[in-house]
Chain A
Amino acid sequence: MSLGQGTEGSLIVDIVFWVLAVSSIASAIAVVQMRNLFRAALFLIGSFLAVAGMFILLRAEFLAAVQVLIYVGAISVLIIFAILMTGEVERGSPAHTLRIPVGVLAALFAAVAVFVAVGTDWQIIDTLIQSGEIGSAAANQIEVVFSNTIPSIARLLLQDFVLAFEVASVVLLAAIIGAIALIREG
């Protein structure tokens, strides 16, 4: 039994993946190249939506919903608000003089990351299941986990990572109070 039975490996899923990949990268390039900040923010939303689609391909439907709610729904709106409040849309967002060395640095980083990603011998779940290294009982458990991810995420958040979970809530509270204190008049 393979994790990807049914949908994955079919041509249509590959096409969807490539469309999402190209649109997310093209939107990201538009974000850093647009001079008009407002349009850059709209392309940022497009990139977030494409990544949410890739989360669905990775069987992370809950995270896709979280991504749309928080990134597209909250963070992008906050950014657009700030752009409109500061009224610097006309001056745009020019790059400064270090543009070329920074571009070379980013390209180098991408090359190293791609080299590592392609060159490493990853232990892929599906091949381990097919070769029998993961027994059928474990494979069944894995399928259960991925068919409905929310109970497992809840268990991880409230058992294994409960300290980080509580600290994250304190961080959010501190950030909210800090933001209010920073922009209060006077």
Chain B
Amino acid sequence: MSLENFLIVSAILFAIGLYGALSKRNAIAVLMSIELMFNAVNLAAVAFSRYTVPAALGGRGEMAHMLLTGHVFSIFIITIAAAEVALGLAIVIAVYRSRSTIFVTDAAQLSK
């Protein structure tokens, strides 16, 4: 178990999410795939935080809290993901109300 293991898992998760986001026709499935990609990025950020050293560590480790920058980035990503999924699902439901479909291929135009 090393940094490389976590990065490889993260890369595979991101690639699966990328495939789903680009190939799915159902808008909710696209949103779920995007969540998978966010999650993969979080995993990579936390793994970097645990295993690598920031330049600003300081000789006696007085800046050791900077090691957790990856954790803070993950928290921001989780926040943005929550905002994104709330807005995305609101748009999906609004589209479903006006055209009774949530397939991105059927709703390709902004106006009817």
Main secondary structure of the interface of A (DSSP, over half): helix
Complex Cα gap A168–B84 (Å): 12
B68→A79 contact, CB < 8 A = no
B93→A60 contact, CB < 8 A = no
B28→A57 contact, CB < 8 A = no
Q: Which of A71, A142, A171 contacts B61 (CB 8 A)?
A: A142
Complex Cα gap A35–B105 (Å): 17
Measured between C-beta atoms, what is the minimum distance from A86 to chain B in Å? 5
A14→B86 contact, CB < 8 A = no
Q: Which of A78, A102, A157 contacts B22 (CB 8 A)?
A: A102
B75→A66 contact, CB < 8 A = yes
Is B46 located at the chain interface by the 8 A CB criterion? yes
Complex Cα gap A50–B61 (Å): 32
Is A13 located at the chain interface by the 8 A CB criterion? yes
B4→A118 contact, CB < 8 A = yes
Complex Cα gap A59–B90 (Å): 35
Contacts of B4 in A (CB 8 A): 117-118, 122
Complex Cα gap A42–B105 (Å): 25
A31→B36 contact, CB < 8 A = yes
Chain B 76-93 against A: per-residue CB contact (8 Å), 1 yes, 0 no? Answer: 101111111111011111
Measured between C-beta atoms, what is the minimum distance from B1 to chain A in Å? 5
Complex Cα gap A183–B13 (Å): 32
Complex Cα gap A171–B84 (Å): 10
Main secondary structure of the interface of B (DSSP, over half): helix
Measured between C-beta atoms, what is the minimum distance from B29 to chain A in Å? 4
Task: Give chain B interface residues in 53-68, CB to chain A under 8 Å.
Answer: 53, 57-62, 64-68
- Known interface pairs A21-B9, A98-B22; 18 further A-B residue pairs with C-beta atoms within 8 A, sorted by A's residue number: A25-B13, A31-B20, A31-B36, A47-B36, A58-B47, A58-B50, A60-B49, A63-B42, A71-B35, A86-B28, A88-B101, A95-B24, A103-B23, A106-B18, A122-B3, A142-B67, A149-B68, A183-B90
Q: Can you report 22 residue pairs joining A to B where beta carbons are below 8 Å apart?
A: A8-B1, A21-B9, A28-B16, A31-B16, A32-B19, A44-B36, A86-B28, A86-B96, A92-B26, A93-B26, A93-B29, A94-B24, A96-B24, A102-B22, A105-B22, A110-B11, A134-B57, A135-B59, A135-B60, A138-B57, A140-B61, A152-B68
Interface positions of A (Cβ within 8 A of B): 8-9, 13-14, 17, 21, 24-25, 28-29, 31-32, 37, 40-41, 44, 47-48, 51, 54-55, 57-60, 62-63, 66-67, 70-71, 74-75, 78-79, 81-83, 85-86, 88, 91-96, 98-99, 102-103, 105-107, 109-110, 113-114, 117-118, 122-126, 128, 134-135, 137-142, 144-146, 149, 151-153, 155-157, 160-161, 164, 168, 171-172, 174-176, 178-180, 182-183
The 9 lowest CB-CB distance pairs between A and B, nearest first, are A141-B61, A138-B61, A175-B83, A113-B11, A32-B20, A93-B26, A110-B15, A117-B7, A152-B65
